[in-house]
A = this chain, B = another copy of it.
Amino acid sequence: MKDSLEWLSLKNVLKIFTETEFGARCCQQRMSSILSSPHSPHLPTYQFQPIALFQSCFKQKTGTPRQFNLIPHSRGYFRLNSIHLVEGLEVGLYLHVIWLFHQNFHIKRDSVNQKETNKEEAAHLQQLSESYAPICITNQMQKTKIKPPRMNGQKIGIFAARSPYRPNPIGLSVCKIRDIVKGKDDSVIVHLEGCDLVHGTPIIDVKPYIRDYDSIPEAPHPSWFENIALKQKNVAQVAFTEDAQRQLEELVPKMKFYHNDLDAVRQVIEEMILLDPRSKYRRDKCTEEVFGFCIDNINVRCVFKDENQCFVCEVESLDKIEQMDKKSLKRRNTEDFARFSKRIRSEEKE
């Protein structure tokens, strides 16, 4: 009995397994990545399954705000299979949402080490890892510090920051409950606003925000944050050209998150631009180009006239842009810039 139990040690299983003729290198890699806890063998590992995948008006990382509540009119929802799970939550309350940075590079890199396998193997292993095996998130991080985007190269520790680059890539947001809608079969859809989650983000927990505990108005700011807050320069003014306004009116009946809600979609576009969604590179090097970002199922194309002023020049269906390759997109953005600039000048004269 003792021997048979001894034998059960999963490490031995792995060893014997790889000695048989079946044991392939890839299989061994997968299994050892599941079974091993590389850095701290004395710490157990825990396995989570999301409670829901978040449905967000932000389809891509570009334009998705870096914090919750920066774009208060952003919208998204998640579905649960029983309305009883949220009994006691009401419209207007705030909710802590705990989620995963699923587009985080190091989850992907850890789940399948693409450098060591060929393309076909990698694709297959990726598929396997998605269907059967947990996606490993290990503590094998090389860096201990990161450079927050707005800090001009200054570094701070991973745990002093909210960066997605962290040992366990967990995100934390506080969103406002916009609506709670009972679905078919007892299911429920919880609609949120003020969210900063990309479409498809796995949610692992939600908890009510209780002001008496969670709101600490006297909490001091980290000194690195004070420096950022002072340096931060946003856009001051947003205007829509006549064309863009008309296009938006035409598209709003086909929208999913802002269906027929023209005021709300204008508001969310303005909120996004006021935060300046451009990267530092785009802000400095691509001034003579149209800047585009998507919200819900539309693509918004705008021109930054100077640092403080932005004109929305075109609004189009997202389908259109999704079929274009990177090169033609770049060409279109340069060509249209002159046309849009001319149009803006003529509208300003009138």
How many residues on the A side are at the interface (Cβ–Cβ under 8 A)?
108
A107: chain B residues at CB < 8 Å are 46
On whether the beta carbons of B139 and A51 are closer than 8 Å, the reply is: yes
On whether the beta carbons of B213 and A209 are closer than 8 Å, the reply is: no
On whether the beta carbons of B160 and A47 are closer than 8 Å, the reply is: no
Taking A88-B157, A120-B5 as contacts, is the C-beta distance between A213 and B16 under 8 angstroms? no
On whether the beta carbons of B220 and A120 are closer than 8 Å, the reply is: no
Q: At the interface, yes or no: A191 with Cβ under 8 Å from chain B?
A: no
CA distance A311 to B225 in the complex (A): 46
Write the nearest CB–CB distance from A195 to chain B, whole angstroms.
13
Interface 1/0 per residue, A1-27 and B, CB below 8 Å? 100110111110100110000101011
When the two chains form the complex, which single residue of B84, B207, B216 contacts A94, counting CB atoms closer than 8 Å? Answer: B216
Taking A35-B132, A157-B87, A159-B86 as contacts, is the C-beta distance between A47 and B137 under 8 angstroms? yes
Question: Chain A: interface secondary structure?
Answer: mixed
Among A196-227, those with CB < 8 Å from B are 202, 204-217, 219-225
Q: List 10 A-B contacts (CB under 8 A).
A: A8-B124, A10-B30, A46-B134, A47-B134, A47-B137, A49-B137, A49-B138, A69-B213, A96-B172, A161-B207
Q: At the interface, yes or no: A53 with Cβ under 8 Å from chain B?
A: yes
On whether the beta carbons of A205 and B170 are closer than 8 Å, the reply is: yes
On whether the beta carbons of A89 and B159 are closer than 8 Å, the reply is: yes
Q: At the interface, yes or no: A230 with Cβ under 8 Å from chain B?
A: no
Q: At the interface, yes or no: A324 with Cβ under 8 Å from chain B?
A: no
A45: chain B residues at CB < 8 Å are 47-49, 133-135
A214: chain B residues at CB < 8 Å are 174, 214-216, 219
A98: chain B residues at CB < 8 Å are 98, 170, 172
Write the nearest CB–CB distance from A206 to chain B, whole angstroms.
5
When the two chains form the complex, which single residue of B16, B129, B215, B222 contacts A215, counting CB atoms closer than 8 Å? Answer: B215
Taking A24-B8, A37-B49, A128-B10 as contacts, is the C-beta distance between A144 and B84 under 8 angstroms? yes
A341: chain B residues at CB < 8 Å are none
A160: chain B residues at CB < 8 Å are 86-89, 208
CA distance A156 to B89 in the complex (A): 9
Write the nearest CB–CB distance from A323 to chain B, whole angstroms.
27
Q: At the interface, yes or no: A235 with Cβ under 8 Å from chain B?
A: no
A162: chain B residues at CB < 8 Å are 207-208, 210
CA distance A208 to B158 in the complex (A): 10
Taking A10-B30, A46-B202 as contacts, is the C-beta distance between A84 and B157 under 8 angstroms? yes
A139: chain B residues at CB < 8 Å are 49, 51
CA distance A92 to B72 in the complex (A): 30
A210: chain B residues at CB < 8 Å are 162, 221-222, 225
Closest 8 CB pairs of A and B: A88-B160, A88-B156, A84-B144, A87-B157, A45-B134, A47-B134, A211-B219, A89-B160
